[in-house]
Amino acid sequence: MKLEWKSYLAAETPAYTSYPTSHGFSDAIGAAALEKRLSGVGQYEPISLYINSPFENAATLQTATHSDTSDVHETARRYVKLLTRQIFHVGQLLQGRGRLTALHFAGAAPHVLLHKDLGVILDAVEMAFGLTDSAIVSMDIDTRLVSFEMAEALGALGLSRIKLGVQDFDPDVQKAIGRVQTFSHIGEVMNAFRRFGVFDINLELGYGLPRQTKESFARTLSLAVSLSPECITLRNGAAPSPSLAATQTQPDTLSLRLEQPETARHILTAAGYECVGFDHFAKTQTALAKAAQTQAIKYNLLGLNADPARIVLGIGQAAVSQFDDLLVQNHSGIDAYISCVERDILPAMRGATLSREDRLRARIIEALLSTLNANILDICNDFDLDLAVLRNAFGKIEMLRNVGLVTYKDGKMLIPEEARAFANVVAACFDENLSKIRHLSYAI
Rounded to an integer, the average pLDDT of 83-89 is: 98
Query: CB 70: neighbour CB atoms within 10 A?
Result: 8
Residue 242 confidence (pLDDT) above 90:
no
Pairing of strands 136-141, 412-414: unpaired
Cα(425)–Cα(143) distance, rounded to whole angstroms? 31
Residue 236 confidence (pLDDT) above 70:
yes
Using one digit for the tens of pLDDT, what is the confidence trace for 273-293? 999 999 999 999 999 999 999
Q: Residue 166 corresponds to which amino acid?
A: V
pLDDT > 90: percent of the chain: 76
Residue 239 confidence (pLDDT) above 70:
no
pLDDT > 70: percent of the chain: 89
Q: Are 234 and 279 in contact (CB under 8 A)?
A: yes
Q: Are 370 and 426 in contact (CB under 8 A)?
A: no
Rounded to an integer, the average pLDDT of 352-376 is: 97
Higher pLDDT, 55 or 312: 312
CA-atom Rg of the chain in angstroms = 22
pLDDT band at 97 (very low <50, low <70, confident <90, very high): very high
Residue 228 confidence (pLDDT) above 80:
yes
Instruction: Give every CB contact of residue 105 below 8 A, 6+ residues apart in sequence.
Output: 51, 53, 118, 137, 138, 139, 140
User: What's residue 238's pLDDT?
Assistant: 65
User: What's residue 146's pLDDT?
Assistant: 86
Neighbour-count burial for 118-134, b at 16+ CB within 10 Å, e otherwise = bbbbbebbeebbebeee
Rounded to an integer, the average pLDDT of 343-362 is: 97
Name the DSSP class of 324.
S
Q: Are 232 and 205 in contact (CB under 8 A)?
A: yes
Q: Are 364 and 383 in contact (CB under 8 A)?
A: no
pLDDT band at 438 (very low <50, low <70, confident <90, very high): very low
Q: Are 406 and 397 in contact (CB under 8 A)?
A: yes
User: What's residue 109's pLDDT?
Assistant: 63
Cα(329)–Cα(418) distance, rounded to whole angstroms? 35
Residue 209 confidence (pLDDT) above 60:
yes
CA distances to 206, 214, 303, 427 from 18, rounded to whole Å, are 22, 33, 10, 12
Q: Are 443 and 407 in contact (CB under 8 A)?
A: no
User: What's residue 24's pLDDT?
Assistant: 87
Q: Are 33 and 351 in contact (CB under 8 A)?
A: yes
CA 378 to chain centre: 27
Across 83-92, 140-149, 224-233, least confident range? 140-149
Rounded to an integer, the average pLDDT of 361-372 is: 97
> Which of 353, 350, 339, 351 minimizes the C-alpha distance to 86?
339
> Which of 75, 177, 58, 167 minimizes the C-alpha distance to 117?
75
Which range has highest mean pLDDT (7-11, 360-364, 434-438)? 360-364
Q: What pTM value is reported for the model?
A: 0.90
User: What's residue 60's pLDDT?
Assistant: 35
Residue 258 confidence (pLDDT) above 90:
no
pLDDT band at 252 (very low <50, low <70, confident <90, very high): low
pLDDT band at 189 (very low <50, low <70, confident <90, very high): very high
Cα(346)–Cα(323) distance, rounded to whole angstroms? 16
Rounded to an integer, the average pLDDT of 359-379 is: 97
Higher pLDDT, 223 or 244: 223
Higher pLDDT, 33 or 10: 33
Query: CB 291: neighbour CB atoms within 10 A?
Result: 21
For the beta sheet containing 373-375, the strands, ordered from the edge strand earlier in sequence to the opposite edge, are 373-375, 412-414, 407-409
User: What's residue 111's pLDDT?
Assistant: 65
Q: What's the length of the chain?
A: 444
Rounded to an integer, the average pLDDT of 33-57 is: 90
Residue 249 confidence (pLDDT) above 60:
no
User: What's residue 58's pLDDT?
Assistant: 42
User: What's residue 434's pLDDT?
Assistant: 82
CA distances to 113, 138, 152, 290 from 198, rounded to whole Å, are 19, 10, 10, 19
Instruction: Give every CB contact of residue 356 below 8 A, 6+ residues apart in sequence.
Output: 383, 384, 385
User: What's residue 10's pLDDT?
Assistant: 77
pLDDT band at 442 (very low <50, low <70, confident <90, very high): very low
Residue 83 confidence (pLDDT) above 90:
yes
Q: Which long-range contacts (CB under 8 A, 24 or more apart) does 149-152 make?
A: 150/110, 150/115, 151/189, 151/192, 151/193, 151/195, 151/196, 151/198, 152/192, 152/196
Cα(240)–Cα(259) distance, rounded to whole angstroms? 19
Cα(208)–Cα(176) distance, rounded to whole angstroms? 12
For the beta sheet containing 348-353, the strands, ordered from the edge strand earlier in sequence to the opposite edge, are 273-276, 280-283, 231-236, 200-207, 161-167, 136-141, 99-107, 46-53, 311-315, 320-322, 326-330, 348-353
pLDDT band at 244 (very low <50, low <70, confident <90, very high): very low
Using one digit for the tens of pLDDT, what is the confidence trace for 101-151? 999 998 766 666 777 888 999 999 999 999 988 999 999 998 888 888 889
